[in-house]
Amino acid sequence: MQGVCKRFDNVVALAGVALDVDRGEVHAICGENGAGKSTLMKILSGVYTPDEGEIRIDGEPLRIQGLHHAQALGIVMIHQELNLVPHLTVAENIWLGREPRRGWFVDQARQREGARACLQRLAVDVDPDAQVSTLSLAQQQMVEIAKALSMDARLLIMDEPTSSLGETDSAQLLRVVKDLKRAGVGIVYISHRLDELDEIVDRVTILRDGHYIATRRWAETSIDEIVGLMVGRELNQQFP
Ligand code: ADP
Ligand code: MG
Ligand code: MG
């Protein structure tokens, strides 16, 4: 993505933002609340249309026309607010909202089988027939990821996926992220929790007030520097 701009009425949410993500890379996006992280990802996943800017996939410029188009391109976003239907089963949720033209009107037994396969890939113990409302938040998060896997995501966007998870569940989620990364999936990972990023992240892009600030290799950057870039504090500046 390059030069991406987006405004909502009087609010400039993004002003000339750039981002590139490789296969098998975990790319973190850091920025304070309101920096534009979610808006950028909603543009990438077809929820919003950018006012300006260019998106290229495998070097080819293209215009992403809605959610289904993004999904057909293998771009799937797991939103900060989960999008599951509580009174439907896990399997039904995983298969919900597919484009008929891709042959996704499959019978229940095959739905269940497909769901089970995706859940197994994540090594999560969730019954495909369980009603989603009976699951823990962590399990629901896993169902969202299973859903993304079932769509053959090659770019998976996770918006603060551990914000509502405890330590054990967060650890499991990070393990899943590592597996996906090994399988060549590109992952954009938005989080406030810089501690957990340490384990998984290859590069980080920092946004501030809708502006692109910098991209750094995680291993070559200190948390201090990243926080400084996030809040607009110059490095080496002394504070009392
Ligand atoms: P972040 O995810 O980094 O917290 P957001 O992308 O949610 O930031 O928001 C960036 C800015 O755009 C904020 O000022 C926010 O209030 C504004 N914004 C986001 N979505 C909308 C919307 N649908 N309508 C109006 N303003 C929005
Ligand atoms: Mg926010
Ligand atoms: Mg957000």
Give the position, in ligand 1's atom list, of the atom nearest the Cα of 39.
6
In short, whether 35's Cβ falls inside 6 Å of ligand 1 is yes
Give the pLDDT confidence of 143-184 residue by residue, as tens digits.
988 888 888 889 999 998 888 778 888 888 888 899 999 999
Give residue 18's pLDDT. 98
Give the helix/strand (H/E) hosting 3: strand 2-8
- Is residue 222 helix, strand or coil? coil
Residue type, 225: E
* CATH 3.40.109.10, domain 2-84+151-231, yes or no: no
Give the position, in ligand 1's atom list, of the atom nearest the Cα of 41.
6
**Minimum CA distance residue for ligand 1 atom 1:** 34
Mean of pLDDT values over 133-138: 90
Ligand 1 pocket mutation, candidates 17, 38, 39, criterion most atoms within 8 A of CB: 39
The pair of structure tokens assigned to 8 is 């909502």
Can you state the angle between helices 137-150 and 108-121, rounded to 10 degrees? 110
Distance CA 115, CA 112 (A): 5
- ipTM value for the complex: 0.97
Average pLDDT, the chain: 89
Give residue 74's pLDDT. 93
- What's the gap in Å between 191 CA and the centre of ligand 3? 9
The residue with tokens 């089988």 is 113
List the 75-78 sheet strands across, edge first. Answer: 75-78, 155-159, 186-190, 26-30, 203-208, 211-217
**Minimum CA distance residue for ligand 1 atom 12:** 13
The domain limits of the chain are 2-84+151-231
Distance CA 188, CA 41 (A): 9
Higher per-residue pLDDT: 105 or 218: 218
Parallel, antiparallel or unpaired: strands 211-217 and 203-208: antiparallel
Q: Which residues surround ligand 3, an ion (CB under 5 A)?
A: 37-38
Give the pLDDT confidence of 69-122 residue by residue, as tens digits.
999 999 999 887 788 999 999 999 998 866 554 555 567 788 888 889 888 877
- What's the gap in Å between 125 CA and the centre of ligand 3? 29
In short, whether 185's Cβ falls inside 6 Å of ligand 1 is no
The model's pTM: 0.88
User: Measuring CA to CA, which residue among 169, 229, 233 is closest to residue 194?
Assistant: 229
Distance CA 101, CA 98 (A): 9
Distance CA 64, CA 7 (A): 18
- What's the gap in Å between 192 CA and the centre of ligand 3? 10
Cβ–Cβ < 8 Å for 42, 73: no
User: Measuring CA to CA, which residue among 184, 163, 162 is closest to residue 172?
Assistant: 162
